[in-house]
Chains A and B, each alone.
Chain A
Amino acid sequence: MTDILLLAPVGLPLLTAIVAVFLRHAPHWQRRLNLAGSLALTVAAAALFAAVMDDAVLSSQMGGWPAPFGITLVADGLSAIMVLVAAVMGLLIAIYALADIDDTLLRRGFVVYYQILVGGVCGAFLTGDLFNLYVWFETTLIASFGLLVLGGTREQLDAGVKYVVVNVAATLLLLISIGMLYGLTGTLNLADLSRTVADIDNDGLLNLISVLFIVAFGIKAALFPFFFWLPASYHTPATAVTAIFGALLTKLGVYALIRLFTLVLTHDPAFTNTVLLVLALLTMVTGVLGAAAQNDVNRILSFHIISQIGYMILGLALYAPLAVAGAIIYTVHNILAKTNLFLIAGILRRHAGSLELHRLGGFYQARPALAVAFLISALSLAGLPPLSGFWAKLIVVQAGMDAQAYAAAGIALAVGFLTLFSMTKIWIGAFWTPAPPDAEPVTPPSRAGAWALQAPVWVLVACIVLAGFTAETLFGLSLEAGRALMDPSTYIATVLPPGA
């Protein structure tokens, strides 16, 4: 039973992708398949989540080879939360894609890439093996290449080249760091690595490997100073693609950093956490300042992804159960709020034909309900109570105070204000100012398309508000996951049963 629970979130999307290949000339069926596959994944992820809540850590050895020789799948609190959120996002964006993705893109294989992307992300969240993590990163990467250039427009090709080169270089760096860590320890199983690294008395080499990992995953997570590929590429593809990228891809890098630096590379926290702390603060500040200089809604939002990644890594760098819990809550909150903003921006683009602020306007009058949805998500992103972002920011700042990192806490608060500034800029530019005189007449999507675009937006708004009002539950879950990360003995004992 455990085997199926752990395999389903990886296997179902990959299976859906294979079926989608055979249905590629039937866009109508592809849409249904995408929805069915995403729904099945959500059910599987919910079942896994429930099982992990009962039973702390689940693990399963693929092919019956015992760890550390075989490939292990592990689900602890962090993995279960991330898989659940990824599955729900996959479902919501699949609904949005019903109307957003046209038949041409479906014939070119949108569903195939989409499902492989989601499956790869779930695989990376669940694997207990470092080399397997690399393979899942590559899976996700290849799928994201396909999605990015699917439209074949000139902007997408331009963005695609930069995205591909930087990300391939990052995975190669990851491969080199894995090779070096393997050379030092002789194992690739994360739980086994955790034990082995503790016995190794070569902090210099371990620090070098740590920095290599920080660079490799930092490029994936768009940390300062490795973030330039993100705002260069995320605004070019279709909205559904941008939304799933924004929801899952950078968070994968964050997840890998959290996993690695709480479980494996804990030999010299003073050194690694200082590096992470400095990078996190610089990421927050440069991201939010970069956003202030932009005039395209999607590019503003892309820069905010970067700044928000800083908060998550800040939580990791403060290195205490509360701080790591803050990083987890922040990740969940950010996925909800940021995805919703991208989805709303997509609806705006449908109406105005552009997302440059000077070409937008009048949406407060034209679409008051959408304006409210935007306002709620934007205020949550900036961290206003009682929305989800407030609690996420509160916990990270509180953890900073506990660790006496007052400067870090202060910067985190200041960046929150600057986020509010950018959000206000979009609000004024797109919603308050009257529509520009030369604006094309608004062409709303068909009735059937309209609900598919709006339903996910309202579900996400409900999630953001609900997460704000039930913060206690979310906090409890994350704190438990954070405690488990800081004390990985249960994780190790589950993967490598003592006496076995």
Chain B
Amino acid sequence: MDTIVALSAGLLVAGGVYLLHAPNLMRLIFGLMLLGNAANLVLLAGGRFFGAVPPLIAEGETLVAGDPANALPQALALTAIVISFGILAFAIILVLRSYQFLGTADADAMRLAEPDTAWESPGESPGESPGESPGESR
């Protein structure tokens, strides 16, 4: 079990990092998803896999009968899953919005906030003055 989990976590990290290097924004999001799942596996593996009995103590007993599962990492992973669900939902909408407004999903083409023309002659930077414009309708 440990070996399988370790291998899958490693595979997920490798895939995630590979996708994070892609210029396409949607692939970046997929990369983050894979990385998130790897993190959850690492959390679970941190609690070891040694039992399958629910960690509940029967009435009248003082110990759990049999080998209890470690409940804490499960709770941690659940928290992390919920958080990453929210964040990824936001990230996907953000990518969709920037595709609609900027007309590209290519991270290398997105230079509005960091124009190349920092040292060039005045008046050549493509963007309007940052921050102040009211923004497109929502």
Partner of A161, one of B45, B110, B114, B138: B110
- Nearest opposing residue in chain A for B36, CB measure: A172
The answer on a CB contact under 8 Å between B107 and A155 is: no
Contact of B87 among A168, A181, A235 (CB under 8 A): A168
Task: Indicate if A53 sits at the interface (CB-CB under 8 A).
Answer: no
Residue on A with the closest CB to B112?
A: A158
**A157, A169, A182, A235, most chain B CB atoms within 10 A:** A157
CB of B122 within 8 A of CB of A153, answer no
Q: With A141-B87, A160-B98, A175-B39 as known contacts, state yes or no: A155 contacts B112, CB within 8 Å.
A: yes
Contact of B131 among A231, A237, A293 (CB under 8 A): A237
Q: How far is the CB of B109 from chain A (nearest CB, A)?
A: 10
Contact of A293 among B46, B95, B119 (CB under 8 A): B119
Q: What is the bound-complex CA distance between A456 and B33, given in angstroms?
A: 42
On chain A, the residues within 8 Å of B84 by CB distance are: 168, 172
Determine if B86 and A180 form an interchain contact, defined as CB atoms under 8 angstroms apart: no
Q: How far is the CA of A188 from the CA of B94 in the complex (A)?
A: 33
From A155, A169, A235, A356, contact of B20 by CB (8 A): A169
When the two chains form their complex, are residues A161 and B98 in contact, meaning their CB atoms are under 8 A apart?
yes
**Which among B86, B98, B119 has the highest number of chain A CB atoms within 10 Å?**
B98
Majority secondary structure of chain A interface residues (helix, strand, loop or mixed): helix
Contact residue among A131, A158, A172, A183 (Cβ-Cβ distance under 8 Å from B47)? A183
Contact between chains at A358 and B113 (CB < 8 Å): no
CB distance from A369 to the nearest CB of B (A): 23
Tell whether, in the assembled complex, residue A232 and residue B39 are in contact, meaning their CB atoms are under 8 Å apart: no
Known A-B contacts A183-B47, A293-B119, A358-B122; A236 and B113 likewise in contact (beta carbons under 8 Å): yes
Per-residue CB contact flags for chain A residues 349-364 toward chain B (1 = under 8 Å, else 0) read: 1000111101100000
Q: How many Å lie between the Cα of A238 and that of B133 in the bound state? A: 10
Pick from B40, B47, B95, B98: contact of A182, CB below 8 A.
B47
Query: In this assembly, does A433 line the interface, its C-beta being within 8 Å of a C-beta of chain B?
Result: no
8 Å CB contact of A153 from B36, B73, B133: B133
Total contacting residues, chain B, CB less than 8 A: 54
Inter-subunit contact B45/A183 (CB<8 Å):
yes
Q: B1 CB to closest chain A CB, in angstroms?
A: 14
Q: For residue A42, give the distance in angstroms from its CB to the closest CB of chain B.
A: 27
Residues of the B chain whose Cβ atoms lie less than 8 Å from the Cβ of A138:
83, 87
Give the distance to chain B from A263, nearest Cβ to Cβ, in Å: 20
Of A2-10, A144-152, A217-225, A416-424, the segment with at least 4 beta carbons within 8 Å of chain B is A144-152
Q: Is A145 within 8 A of B112, CB to CB?
A: no
**Could you tell me the distance in whole angstroms from the C-beta of B79 to the nearest C-beta in chain A?**
7
- Choose one: A168, A172, A233, A295; the contact of B113 (CB below 8 Å): A233
Q: Is the CB of A295 within 8 A of B119?
A: yes
Neighbouring A residues of B129 by C-beta, 8 Å:
349, 353-354
Q: Which residues of B contact A486 (CB under 8 A)?
A: none
Q: A152-B135, A155-B112, A235-B130 are in contact. Are A161 and B32 (CB under 8 A)?
A: no
Partner of B110, one of A135, A158, A179, A184: A158
Residues A236 and B130 in contact, CB atoms below 8 Å apart: yes
Which residue of B36, B79, B90, B95 contacts A145 across the interface (Cβ within 8 Å)? B90
Contact with A along B89-104 (1 / 0, CB 8 A): 0110011011001100
Q: A179 to B39, Cβ gap below 8 A?
A: yes
Q: Are A182 and B73 in contact (CB under 8 A)?
A: yes
Note all chain A residues with C-beta closer than 8 A to B28: 165
A138-B83, A141-B87, A233-B113 are contacts. A153–B35 as well, Cβ < 8 Å? no
Let me know if A293 and B118 touch, CB within 8 A: yes
Q: How far is the CB of B76 from chain A (nearest CB, A)?
A: 6
Question: Is B69 at the interface (CB under 8 A from chain A)?
Answer: no
CB distance from A436 to the nearest CB of B (A): 9
Task: Report B64 CB to chain A, min CB distance, Å.
Answer: 16
Is B138 a contact of A152 with CB atoms below 8 Å? yes
Instruction: Tell me if A142 counts as interface (CB < 8 A to partner B).
Output: yes
Nearest A residue (CB) for B17: A169
* Residue of A108, A142, A156, A298 touching B90 (CB-CB under 8 A): A142
A238 partner residues in chain B, CB cutoff 8 A: 131
Which of A158, A178, A236, A237 is packed against the most chain B CB atoms within 10 Å?
Answer: A158
Provide the bound-state CA to CA distance between A179 and B13, in Å. Answer: 14
CA distance A441 to B125 in the complex (A): 22
| Interface bits A277-303 vs B (CB < 8 Å: 1, else 0) | 000000000000000011110100000
CA distance in complex: A176, B9 (Å): 10
From known contacts A153-B133, A179-B39, A180-B42, infer whether A142 and B94 are also in contact, taking CB-CB under 8 Å. Answer: no
User: Which residues on A sit within 8 Å (CB–CB) of B127?
Assistant: 154-155
Complex alpha-carbon distance, A159 and B45, angstroms = 36
Q: Is the Cβ of B73 less than 8 Å from the Cβ of A157?
A: no
Q: Hey, which chain A residues are within 8 Å of B35, CB to CB?
A: 169, 172
B43 at interface (Cβ–Cβ under 8 A)? yes
B125 partner residues in chain A, CB cutoff 8 A = 356
Residue positions of B touching A, CB distance < 8 A: 13, 20, 25, 28, 32, 35-36, 38-40, 42-48, 73, 76, 79-80, 83-84, 86-87, 90-91, 94-95, 97-98, 101-102, 107, 110-114, 118-119, 122, 125, 127-136, 138
8 contacts between A and B (CB under 8 A): A138-B87, A152-B138, A153-B131, A154-B102, A155-B127, A157-B102, A179-B46, A182-B76
Not counting A153-B133, A172-B32, a sample of 20 additional A-B residue pairs whose C-beta atoms are within 8 angstroms of each other reads: A134-B80, A142-B87, A151-B131, A151-B135, A153-B131, A156-B135, A160-B98, A162-B110, A165-B20, A165-B28, A169-B20, A169-B32, A175-B40, A179-B39, A179-B43, A184-B46, A293-B119, A349-B131, A353-B129, A355-B130
Which 8 A-B residue pairs are closest in the complex by CB-CB distance? A183-B46, A152-B135, A179-B42, A179-B43, A175-B39, A157-B98, A159-B113, A182-B46
